[in-house]
Amino acid sequence: MIKYIAYCRKSTDEKEKQVLSIESQIAELKEFATKEKLQIVYLLDTGKLLDLKFPTFWFDNTPQGKFMLSIAFGQSKYYVDNLSENVKRGNRQKLRKGILPNKAPYGYLNEPRLRIIEVDPIKSKIVKKAFELFAEGESSIADISRFFQKFGITRYNGNMLHLDTVKRVLSNKFYIGIINFSGETYEGTHKLFLPPEVFEKAQKILEAREHPKPRRNNFTFLGLARCAECGCAITAEVKHKCYPSTRGNVDYIYYRCTKKKTDCSQNYLREELLEQQLRAIVEKSSLPTSWAKLWLERLDKEGTEEKSNSENQVTKFSSEVQKIDKKLDRLLEGYLDQIIDPQIYQQKKNELVELKIKLKEKMASVSKNGSEWLGLLFK
C-alpha cells in the first residue's frame, strides 16, 4: 500500500488570526486520509514518497508535479516573509506610540482589545513592594524571588523565578517609562506605578553588589571631631566582651585619637559618653526664641523666591526637552539619508531618549516638591 505523510503548520502570528489550530488540522487530515483510503507515514525526491495529496489539491512525483509543488512552496515562503515584514511594521508603529510590542512585564498586563499594556491592579502592588524591599538594602535577590513566589508571581510550573529573571525585573527600565527593544530606546506612554527614586535606589544596590567595596563598620560619629590635644583625627573600633552567666556576648564601641602625629595622652571614650558631649554642644547652639519672627519673615521671602526658581527650572527643563526633540528629528533625517551609520544612530538615539525621560522626571519633581523643604521648617 502507498503511504503518505500528514503535514500541519502553525504560523507565529497571533492566536486569534489562526485559521485552524494544529488539532483541527490533524482531525481534518485524518478524515481526508480515511475518505481517500490513504495510509499516513513519514517521508519525494528520495523515492520514499510517491506523491503528495492534500484536501484541496495534489501533486504527482513528476517534473510537472514537482514544479507545481515548488510554486506552492514559494508562495508559502512569500506569505511567511510578508507576514514577518507586517509584524515588524506593526511593532515599529507600536514603538512610535510608546507601546511595548511584547509580553507585558510583571506588574502589567496586555489588553488584547485595545492592544495596549495596562497596570495589573494586583501584581503591580506586589512588584512595587518587591522593589521597596530590595531598595531598603536588607533583601537579597533570592529573598525577592521567594517574596514573588509567596504572592503568586512564579514560573509556569509554580516554582520560584530564576535569580537572573528577578535581577532583570529589578533592572527593567520599563518601570520608569523607558522601553528597550532590539537595542533601541523609546519613550513609553504606559502608566507608571513605581516611583523613580525607588527604582534608582534598587539600581545603586544592584551596582554595589556587582562591584562590592571592602566592608567597614558604620560608626555614627566619625568625621565630626578631632582630638583637642594633638589635632589628629578620631577613629573608632568595636570591643567584644562576654558575660557567660547574664548577657552573653556584648559589643561596645569606643572612640579614640589616632595618635599619628605625637604620643597623645587621651584615652578611649565610650560611644554613649561621646554622644552626651555632642548633645551638650548642640544644646548650647540652639537659637533664641526672640529670633522666631525674623526667621518666619525670612522663610516667607525664601518661599516666594523658591517658587519663582521652581517655575524657572521647569521652563528651562521644558526648553531642553524641546531641543532634544529637534536633535532626535535631525538624527532620524541623517539616518534615513544614510549620512549617519546605523550603529551610531542607535547609540545616540538611546542616549537622547534616556536624557529626555530624566528631564521630564525632574520637571515633575520640581513642579510637585519645589518648596517642600520649606514646609518642613514650620512643623
The string of pLDDT tens digits covering residues 267-323 is 888 999 989 988 888 888 777 777 777 878 887 887 777 888 888 888 888 888 889
Range of the domain at 370: 297-376
Per-residue 3-state assignment (H helix, E strand, C coil) for the chain: CCEECCCCCCCCCCHHHCCCCHHHHHHHHHHHHHHHCCEECCCCCCCCCCCEECCCCEECCCHHHHHHHHHHHHHHHHHHHHHHHHHHHHHHHHHHCCCCCCCCCCCEEEECCCCEEEECCCHHHHHHHHHHHHHCCCCCHHHHHHHHHHCCCCCCCCCCCCHHHHHHHHCCHHHHCEEEECCEEEECCCCCCCCHHHHHHHHHHHHHHHCCCCCCCCCCCCCCCECCCCCCEEEEEEEEEEECCCCEEEEEEEEEECCCCCCCCCCCEEHHHHHHHHHHHHHHCCCCHHHHHHHHHHHHHHHHHHHHHHHHHHHHHHHHHHHHHHHHHHHHHHHHCCCCCHHHHHHHHHHHHHHHHHHHHHHHHHHHHCCHHHHHCCC
Domain total in the chain: 4
Q: Are residues 142 and 193 in the same domain?
A: yes
Residues 140 and 162 in one domain: yes
Residues 8, 84 within the same domain: yes
Pair (123, 205) in one structural domain = yes
Q: CA-CA distance, 188 to 101, in Å (whole number)?
A: 11
Q: What is the pLDDT of residue 53?
A: 67
Amino acid at 302: E
Q: Give pLDDT, residue 2.
A: 65
Residue 155 located in a structural domain: yes
Per-residue model confidence (pLDDT) at position 72: 79
Q: Which parts of the chain have pLDDT scores under 50?
A: 14-19, 42-44, 371, 376, 378-379
Long-range contacts of 257-264 (CB under 8 A, 24+ apart): 257/227, 257/229, 257/230, 257/232, 257/233, 258/227, 258/232, 258/233, 258/234, 259/230, 259/232, 260/232, 260/233, 261/230, 261/231, 261/232, 262/230, 264/227, 264/229, 264/230, 264/232
**Domain membership flag for residue 28:** yes
Q: Are residues 123 and 162 in the same domain?
A: yes
Tell me the pLDDT tens digit for each residue of 69-88: 778 778 888 888 888 888 88
Please report the pLDDT score of residue 213 as a whole number. 64
| Residue 269 falls inside a structural domain | yes
> End of a domain among 73, 96, 119?
96
Q: Are residues 271 and 305 in the same domain?
A: no
Same domain for 259 and 303? Answer: no
| Domain assignment present for 226 | no
Q: Does residue 112 sit in the same domain as residue 170?
A: yes
- End-to-end alpha carbon distance in the chain: 95
Kindly state whether residue 184 falls inside one of the protein's structural domains: yes
Dihedral of the CA atoms 70, 75, 76, 79 (nearest 10)?
160
What's the pTM value of the predicted model, to 2 decimals? 0.54
**50 and 26 co-located in one domain:** yes
Residue 166 in contact with residue 144, Cβ under 8 Å?
yes
Same domain membership, residue 317 and residue 339 = yes
* 168: in domain: yes
Q: Does 225 reside within a domain?
A: no
Residue 351 lies in a domain: yes
**Residues 115, 203: one domain?**
yes
Taken in order 124, 128, 134, 138, the sign of the CA dihedral is: negative
For residue 201, the domain's CATH number is 3.90.1750.20
Q: Are residues 314 and 354 in the same domain?
A: yes
Domain end position, chosen among 96, 131, 166: 96
Residue ending a domain, among 153, 177, 210, is 210
